[in-house]
């Protein structure tokens, strides 16, 4: 499920492959509880059902089924890395769990499952409606399906749920780290456990704990790693951290969990962002998980192609617009030294939408899951929230404040940010560590000749609106181009005009001393919701602002951006 082995002790079963499948309207045979008994089709897991020729625009519910063999009586842990967007899980026709949000993982831990074959049934729903505050009609597409990997884990009654390693510099004397292991006790009786972490040639004892029945506890310790090699974009050195859990006085581990970490530290100093004490300037792309063949269920091979293109362009960062990304993509970023602004799932929500009765519950869950699940990725240098939402209103500010407080509670080691587009109306510039702003001079506002003046106007707004003395990132800018439309008149929607806009933007933004980063909207063209509200302003029902099209074919802007990014000050 990752790009490396997470377990040597724990037994796991990859649930990828062909599952029985039926779209809900086609489920003719049902039992007394309304669950389908006949699933005549087949569907790949992971995949989006829109990849099937008969389901290209299907929005609604569907059912997946397969048989799962439990090797012996005991606990069973089911892990789904992404179900889009609401999943209900049934084992032997009994509902055992449910989850909302396509972009974060979830687990279902069952204390005792009998040995033998069991029916695993999953209801998936990608419809919009009152149940969904975050997945709505939007400028990207909500696909349907079990879209990320899934696994069954045959754990012991006590197992490791999380391993968190938080490195810090020891003031020129090497590195130290805080090591934390979360342990679950599924049993209905107390249990004594001991935990240790192997990292960078050391074994650190985290001590013992007496777990209450059906409880969760953290064990933690601080340790020095003076000889550890640091992680940086130039040398992305990764270390394998392995947590070991011992039951009672046992000498052999009862469970284990491994993750890769990088010794690096991210801080803010005045208007600069620092990585390992050195100024860090971001130049990169917003990237949607979207592909015409795979939807959002992008295989690793296609992820690697995206990574190759992004790094060929001279970029050093990517923003996960507008949701947490597949962990395998983050693994690649760790390996290749690509810096990441990862953000929770929300885009363009107004006051009324942020007052949805389920908004607070769903967005807080997304933020918590994002940080807990992706804590160890050294490539993530910023946590972001609530893109272009109602940060201009008192009701919105309440949510922004709560979200930033939660981020600092979960992970104080990384700076926080959000992307605004509200100019003089903005009320929340004082809340994050880093200011993000989306603007499109030459496309939605002003002309390419006015880019420097527009930037200076924005800087004055930020300085006077609560953002004085903070790093500033232009988190979105760019222009649209319909692939293949080339015309010397350089009109809107031509590839020539897109190249002109990005050329003018980058010439100004990359050289400006007040900016800590410039992130283009966007890497590749992506599908949007097919409704009149979006289709009438998005030719091809696509957001066409990619420097490559949806098939990753370069537009004329590719070479423009490559030339600018490969010169640190943006000169041609």
What is the tens place of the pLDDT at every residue in 234-289? Answer: 999 999 999 999 998 888 999 999 999 999 999 999 999 999 999 999 999 999 99
* Cβ contacts of 480-489, under 8 Å, gap ≥ 24: 480/443, 480/539, 480/543, 480/544, 480/545, 481/544, 481/545, 481/555, 481/556, 481/557, 482/539, 482/540, 482/544, 483/525, 483/544, 483/549, 483/553, 483/555, 486/556
pLDDT at res. 569: 57
Each residue of 368-388: b (16+ CB within 10 Å) or e? bbbbbbbbbbbbbbbbbbbbb
Helix (H, G, I), strand (E, B) or coil at 507: helix
Rounded Cα distance between 149 and 356, Å, is 30
- 247 strand-pairing partners: 193
Among 184-198, 352-366, 523-537, whose mean pLDDT is lowest? Answer: 523-537
Closest CA to 399 of 434, 366, 438, 351: 351
Rounded Cα distance between 514 and 271, Å, is 7
Secondary structure element (H or E) that encloses residue 373, with its range = helix 359-374
Residue 156 Cα distances to 159, 181, 208, 316, angstroms:
6, 16, 17, 42
pLDDT at res. 570: 54
pLDDT at res. 534: 72
Residue 539 buriedness (CB in 10 A; 0-12 / 13-18 / 19+)? middle
CB 314 within 8 A of CB 565: yes
pLDDT at res. 384: 98
Band the pLDDT of 413: cuts 50, 70, 90. very high
- Locate the DSSP E strands across 423-541: 434-438, 472-476, 515-520, 526-527
Residues 6+ apart with CB under 8 A from 464: none
> For residue 364, what is the DSSP state?
H
Among 295-299, 399-403, 537-541, 552-556, whose mean pLDDT is lowest? Answer: 537-541
Six-digit token pair at 313? Answer: 């362009």
pLDDT at res. 282: 98
Mean pLDDT of 520-532: 93
Band the pLDDT of 429: cuts 50, 70, 90. very high
| Count of CB atoms situated within 10 Å of the CB of 109 | 17
Residues 6+ apart with CB under 8 A from 38: 22, 27, 28, 29
Using alpha carbons only, give the angle 220, 208, 5 rounded to the nearest 5 degrees.
60
Rounded Cα distance between 272 and 265, Å, is 14
Mean pLDDT of 495-510: 97
pLDDT of residue 535 exceeding 70: no
Check the CA dihedral 122-124-130-131 and report its sign.
positive
Mean pLDDT of 60-76: 97
Band the pLDDT of 394: cuts 50, 70, 90. very high
Residue 402 Cα distances to 101, 380, 399, 411, 428, angstroms:
20, 21, 5, 14, 12
Band the pLDDT of 530: cuts 50, 70, 90. confident
Band the pLDDT of 292: cuts 50, 70, 90. very high
Closest CA to 148 of 52, 91, 84, 98: 84
CB 220 within 8 A of CB 196: no
Domains defined along the chain, listed by start: 17-148 (2.60.120.260), 158-261 (2.60.40.10), 275-565 (3.20.20.80)
Residue 83 Cα distances to 48, 323, 357, angstroms:
10, 14, 22
pLDDT at res. 183: 98
Mean pLDDT of 21-46: 96
Band the pLDDT of 170: cuts 50, 70, 90. confident
Give the pLDDT confidence of 88-100 residue by residue, as tens digits.
999 999 999 999 9
pLDDT of residue 362 exceeding 70: yes
Mean pLDDT of 370-388: 98
Residue 362 Cα distances to 109, 135, 341, angstroms:
21, 10, 21
pLDDT of residue 298 exceeding 80: yes
Mean pLDDT of 537-556: 96
The mean of the pLDDT values for the chain is 96
pLDDT of residue 489 exceeding 80: yes
Rounded Cα distance between 280 and 295, Å, is 33
Query: How many CA atoms within 13 Å lie on the side-chain side of 428?
Result: 32
Band the pLDDT of 447: cuts 50, 70, 90. confident
């Amino acid at each position: 499920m990752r790009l490396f082995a997470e377990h040597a002790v724990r037994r796991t079963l990859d649930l990828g492959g062909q599952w029985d499948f039926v779209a809900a309207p086609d489920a003719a045979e049902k039992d007394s509880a309304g669950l389908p008994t006949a699933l005549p089709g087949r569907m790949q897991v992971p995949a989006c059902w829109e990849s099937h020729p008969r389901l290209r625009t299907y929005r609604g519910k569907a059912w997946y089924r397969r048989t799962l063999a439990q090797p012996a009586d005991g606990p069973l842990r089911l892990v789904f890395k992404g179900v889009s967007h609401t999943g209900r899980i049934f084992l032997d026709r009994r509902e055992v769990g449910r989850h909302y949000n396509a972009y974060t993982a979830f687990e279902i831990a069952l204390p005792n499952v009998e040995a033998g074959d069991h029916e695993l049934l999953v209801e998936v729903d990608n419809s919009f409606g009152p149940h969904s505050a975050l997945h709505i009609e939007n400028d990207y597409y909500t696909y349907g399906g079990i879209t990320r990997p899934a696994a069954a884990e045959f754990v012991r009654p006590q197992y490791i749920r999380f391993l968190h390693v938080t490195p810090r510099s020891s003031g020129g004397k090497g590195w130290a780290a805080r090591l934390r292991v979360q342990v679950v006790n599924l049993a209905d009786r107390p249990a004594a456990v001991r935990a240790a972490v192997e990292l960078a040639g050391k074994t650190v004892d985290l001590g013992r704990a007496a777990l209450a029945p059906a409880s969760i506890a953290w064990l933690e310790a601080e340790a020095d790693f003076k000889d550890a090699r640091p992680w940086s974009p130039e040398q992305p050195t990764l270390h394998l951290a392995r947590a070991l859990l011992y039951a009672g006085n046992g000498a052999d581990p009862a469970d284990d969990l491994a993750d890769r970490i990088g010794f690096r530290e991210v801080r803010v100093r005045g208007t600069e962002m620092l990585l390992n004490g050195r100024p860090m300037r971001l130049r990169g792309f917003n990237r949607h998980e979207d592909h015409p063949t795979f939807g959002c269920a992008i295989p690793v091979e296609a992820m690697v192609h995206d990574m190759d293109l992004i790094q060929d362009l001279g970029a050093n960062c990517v923003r996960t617009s507008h949701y947490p990304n597949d962990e395998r993509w983050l693994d690649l970023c760790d390996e290749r030294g690509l810096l990441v602004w990862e953000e929770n799932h929300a885009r363009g929500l107004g006051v009324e939408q942020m007052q949805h009765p389920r908004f607070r519950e769903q967005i807080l869950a997304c933020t918590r899951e994002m940080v807990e699940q992706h804590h160890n990725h050294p490539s993530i240098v910023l946590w972001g929230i609530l893109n272009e939402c109602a940060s201009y209103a008192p009701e919105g500010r309440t949510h922004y404040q709560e979200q930033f407080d939660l981020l600092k509670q979960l992970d104080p080691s990384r700076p926080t940010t959000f992307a605004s587009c509200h100019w003089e109306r903005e009320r929340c510039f004082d809340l994050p560590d880093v200011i993000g702003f989306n603007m499109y001079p030459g496309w939605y506002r002003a002309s390419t000749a006015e880019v420097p003046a527009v930037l200076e106007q924005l800087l004055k707004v930020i300085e006077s609106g609560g953002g004085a003395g903070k790093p500033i990132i232009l988190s979105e800018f760019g222009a649209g181009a319909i692939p293949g439309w080339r015309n010397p008149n350089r009109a809107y929607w031509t590839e020539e005009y897109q190249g002109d806009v990005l050329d003018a933007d980058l010439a100004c933004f990359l050289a400006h001393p007040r900016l800590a980063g410039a992130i283009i909207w966007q890497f590749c063209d992506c599908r949007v919701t097919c409704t009149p509200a979006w289709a009438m302003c998005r030719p091809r029902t696509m957001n066409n602002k990619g420097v490559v099209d949806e098939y990753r074919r370069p537009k004329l802007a590719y070479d423009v951006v490559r030339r600018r990014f490969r010169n640190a000050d943006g000169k041609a």
